[in-house]
Amino acid sequence: MSRALALLGKELADLRQNLAIFLPALIVTVVAIFMPVMVAVIVPAVTGERLSDSGDLEIALEMYKKDSAMRSLEPEAAIQAYVFQYFLVMLVLAPITSGMSVAASSVIGEKQARTLEPLLVTPITTLELLCGKLLGALLPALFVAVFSLALYLAVVAAVAAHGVFNVLLGPRTLGVVLLIGPLAAMVALQLAICVSSRVNDSRTAQQLGIFVILPIPALLLGQMFGGIELTGPVILWIALGLCVVNIGLMWVAIRLFDRETILTRWK
């Protein structure tokens, strides 16, 4: 793995020269934070109507009655906790966006700059090369996930009712953002690597991210209508499924990455 780690160091050094690549992930994080703040804090303050007085939040009230972690909260604080937990899934989009941007530009950027060709004639194996590039995209995605969660919790501590922060700072929150988020980002960036190894347009590779992003709105809608609740076991099952998908994608990526074609035919 020494060659893969050497490649990882090169990838991270290249990223430091192109920090603008993380701008889409930052925008996603800001939007994911603004939406629950708007629903839980700004709209009630502007309209003068408390969330606990609204008849449209019956699911939140039922959760308030069933969830032991919320029984110590006032009804208004419990509904705020529900809203912030509901929109927590949006934070998963931040590491996915980051991973897609880094992975797509990693292979295609080097193909366009003609720096991938010298790398391919070295003794590094395809597995080592893909592992280096995969880690070079995954580690920044992990950083983005931690940063977005820290910013989210800081905003909750600043604007939400007393006790909401303590409810959010639990295994369910950490599982959604720091487990599902990086695993979903890994799926997205492996898709990007698979496609970018065959094309010279990074936008084509990034468009496949829609297949990873689409389940996120589905989870939001499932929670809205009470069809799904992101409990501990559900989060673990989702994580297990993503692990299986990642293993399969790595197998596919190794077979799609045709070194000879990249070396001899540049389109």
Q: What is the pLDDT of residues 161-194, one digit of tens each?
A: 888 888 888 888 888 888 888 888 888 778 777 7
User: What is the pLDDT confidence band of residue 109, given thresholds at 50, 70 and 90?
Assistant: low
Instruction: State residue 141's pLDDT score.
Output: 83
Are 149 and 178 spatial neighbours (Cβ–Cβ below 8 Å)? yes
Q: Residue 100, Cα to own-chain centre: how many angstroms?
A: 10
Report the share of the chain in percent with pLDDT over 90. Answer: 4
CB 130 within 8 A of CB 190: no
Q: Give me 170's structure tokens.
A: 């639990």
Task: For residues 119 and 129, give the distance between their C-alpha atoms in angstroms, rounded to a whole number.
Answer: 9
171's tokens? 């295994």
pLDDT score of 256: 73
- Cα 234 to Cα 66, 113, 172, 228, distances in angstroms: 17, 44, 10, 9
- Of residues 264 and 47, more confidence is placed in 47
Q: What integer pLDDT is reported at residue 259 of this predicted model?
A: 60
Supply the pLDDT for residue 155.
Answer: 92
The pLDDT of residue 56: 55
> Which of the 8 DSSP states describes residue 121?
T
Residue 95 predicted with pLDDT over 80:
yes
Write down the pLDDT at residue 264.
55
For residue 177 the two structure tokens come to 């953002």
More confident residue, 148 or 76: 148
Alpha-carbon distance of 214 to 126, in angstroms, equals 30
Closest CA to 95 of 208, 165, 179: 179
Q: Which pLDDT score, from 0 to 100, does residue 123 have?
A: 73
pTM higher than the cut 0.85: no
pLDDT for position 79: 80
The DSSP line for 21-88 is GGHHHHHHHHHHHHHHHIIIIIHHHHH---GGG-TT-HHHHHHHHH-GGGTTS-HHHHHHHHHHHHGG
Question: Does position 121 have pLDDT exceeding 90, yes or no?
Answer: no
The per-residue pLDDT for 267 is 47
Least reliable range by pLDDT among 20-29, 71-80, 137-146, 217-226 = 217-226
Token duo for residue 245: 């998908």
pLDDT of residue 152: 92
Average pLDDT, the chain: 76
The amino acid at 218:
A
Mean pLDDT of 244-249: 88
> Which distant-in-sequence residues (6+ apart) come within 8 Å of 144 by Cβ?
22, 25, 29, 94, 95, 98
What band does 196 get if pLDDT is binned at 50, 70 and 90? low
